[in-house]
Amino acid sequence: MKRIGLMKNTVQEYAWGSHTAIAELLGNGSPSKTPQAELWMGAHPKAPSMVKCDGNWISLLKLIEQNPGHLLGKKVAVKFNNRLPYLFKVLAAAKPLSIQAHPSVDQAKQGFEWENRQGIPLDAYNRNYKDDNHKPECICAMTRFRALNGFRKISSIFGLMEKICPKGLKKQLGALRGQQSPMALKNFFQSLMTMNHKQKTQIISHAVSNAKKFTDDDPAYRWMIDLHKQYPADVGVFSPILLNLICLEPGQAMFLPAGELHAYLDGVGIELMANSDNVLRGGLTPKHIDVPELLNVLNFEERKVNILKTEQINECERLYESHAEEFVLSIIHVREGITYNSSAHRSIEILLCTDGKATITDLEKNDTIVIEKGKSIIIPAVVKTYRIQGNAAFYKAAVPL
C-alpha cells in the first residue's frame, strides 16, 4: 500500500462507556443502544482497523505484514519488529474505569511468557498479560476530563485517611505516620488490598459515613462517596484518597508511564499508547485482580502529575511533548487561507478528524481524499508529503523520529 487510505475502526462496548460521545463523533444514531467506550484505530490483533485499498477493505495488520517498509518506514519497521508501535483511541467514560496499572516491557515479556507456559487462554478470566508489550499512554482531553494518576504524597494520604478511618485502620495508619519511603506506602496499600471481606466491608462503610462530614474539605471525599454508590464493597473507593485527583481542561494532556496506578473517572479524551492491551487491575471492577502481580508492577514513589507541554510546529500544528519512543500526539487546525503541509521527514501517521471538513492531497501522486468529522485516515511512511486544506480539526498519531 503506497497511498493515503480511509479507515474503518472498531467501537469497543464496555459498561462504563457513553451512549452519546462516540455515536455523535461518528455521525451515527445517538444515543446508541449500548454503551460505547472506545474507538480503536490501529493494528492491535484484538481489533485491527480496516483500510480501503483499491476499492476493498483490508486489515491494517495484514497490510503491514505484506509490506512493513512502505507502511511503517524502514527505520520504524526495524526498530519495532515490523509492527505498528502505537494504538490510537477515542475514549468516552460515562462512568469510572477500573483502577489499573500497566507493566514495563520486561514485566510484560516475562508475564506473557509465564502465562503461556501455564496454558492460560488469552481470554481467560484470570489472564493478566494479553501480549508481550508495555503500555505507556497519553490522554488528551476533548471535554473536561477527570482522572486519578499516581500516588499522592504520603503525608497527604495520611491526613485524608486519618479523618475517615481513625479506628478501623489505626494500626496501618500508625505504621504510615511520618513515613516517606515507597516501602511504607507499599505496605499500607498491601494491607488495604488483602483485608478479608468482612473487615473490608466494615471499614469501607465506616469510612464513607465519615467522608460525608468532610465533603467541603476536599473533593476526594465526594468522589469516594460517588464511587461507593457503584462499588459498595470495593476497596477501590479509597483511590481518590490515595491517588492524585486530576481535572484536564479541553486540550490539556498528561502522560502515564509504566507502573503508575490510575483511573479515568469521566469525560471524553483522545488516548495514544504503545500497542498493548495489558492491564493489572486494582479495584472498581468485577474483573480479575491479581494483588501479588499488581504489587510487583506498581511504582510507589510519590508523584506530582504534570500537564504535558506543547510546541507550536507551524501555524497549523501543536505537538505534545512525548515521553515514549512509540508515539507522539499532535493537533492540527486548518482554515480558509491556512493550509497544512507535512514534513518530508515523517513516519506512519493516523489522522482523526474531530470537526469540520477538509481535503488531504498526496503531493507526489496528486491523489486527494475528502475527510470530515468522525473519519480517520492512515498515511503510510512511503507517502512523501501531503497537504490538508479546508476548515477542520485533526488529532494526529505518529512515531517520533
Contact between 303 and 150 under an 8 Å Cβ cutoff? The reply is yes
pLDDT for 303 beyond 90: no
pLDDT in tens, 125-137: 999 998 898 999 9
Exposed (0-12), middle (13-18) or buried (19+): which is 171, by Cβ within 10 Å?
exposed
Contact between 270 and 329 under an 8 Å Cβ cutoff? The reply is yes
In a domain, 301, yes or no: no
pLDDT band at 7 (very low <50, low <70, confident <90, very high): very high
pLDDT for 304 beyond 90: no
For 184-199, what is the mean pLDDT? 95
**How many whole angstroms from its chain centre is CA 40?**
11
CATH number at residue 81: 2.60.120.10
Contact between 94 and 35 under an 8 Å Cβ cutoff? The reply is yes
In a domain, 294, yes or no: no
For the chain, how many structural domains are there in total?
A: 3
- pLDDT given for residue 43 in this prediction: 95
For 31-51, what is the mean pLDDT? 95
Which residue's C-alpha cell is 492491535?
Answer: 44
For 70-92, what is the mean pLDDT? 96
pLDDT band at 48 (very low <50, low <70, confident <90, very high): very high
- pLDDT given for residue 46 in this prediction: 87
Same domain, 19 and 97: yes
DSSP symbols for 257-300: -TT--EEEEEEEEEEEEES----EEEESSSS---HHHHHHH---
- pLDDT given for residue 166 in this prediction: 87
Same domain, 173 and 269: no
pLDDT band at 322 (very low <50, low <70, confident <90, very high): confident
For 252-278, what is the mean pLDDT? 95
For 373-388, what is the mean pLDDT? 97
pLDDT for 328 beyond 90: yes
Local structure of residue 18 (DSSP, 8 states): B
- pLDDT given for residue 342 in this prediction: 96
Same domain, 64 and 120: yes
pLDDT for 209 beyond 90: yes
Same domain, 160 and 277: no
Cell numbers at residue 35, please?
454503551
Contact between 146 and 254 under an 8 Å Cβ cutoff? The reply is no
pLDDT for 113 beyond 90: yes
Same domain, 17 and 161: no
Catalytic annotation, pick one of 83, 152, 281, 346: 281
Same domain, 129 and 259: yes
For 176-192, what is the mean pLDDT? 94
- pLDDT given for residue 399 in this prediction: 97
> 83: Cβ–Cβ under 8 A, 6 or more apart, which residues?
43, 64, 275
Consecutive H or E run containing 172:
helix 170-176
pLDDT for 275 beyond 90: no
Same domain, 191 and 122: no
Q: Which of 13, 41, 95 is nearest to 264 (CA)?
A: 95
Which amino acid appears at position 104 of this protein? S
pLDDT for 180 beyond 90: no
pLDDT for 310 beyond 90: yes
**Mean pLDDT score of the chain, rounded to an integer?**
95
- pLDDT given for residue 1 in this prediction: 82
Cα–Cα distance between 256 and 265 in angstroms, integer? Answer: 15
What backbone torsions phi and psi does residue 369 show, to the nearest 5 degrees?
-120, 135
Same domain, 70 and 199: no
For 144-152, what is the mean pLDDT? 96
In a domain, 46, yes or no: yes
**How many whole angstroms from its chain centre is CA 127?**
20
Same domain, 23 and 62: yes
Q: Is 281 a catalytic residue?
A: yes
Same domain, 91 and 27: yes
* Domain, as residue range, for 191: 154-237
Angle between helices 182-193 and 154-164 in degrees, nearest 10: 30
Same domain, 143 and 36: yes
Same domain, 118 and 258: yes
Cell numbers at residue 64, please?
503491514
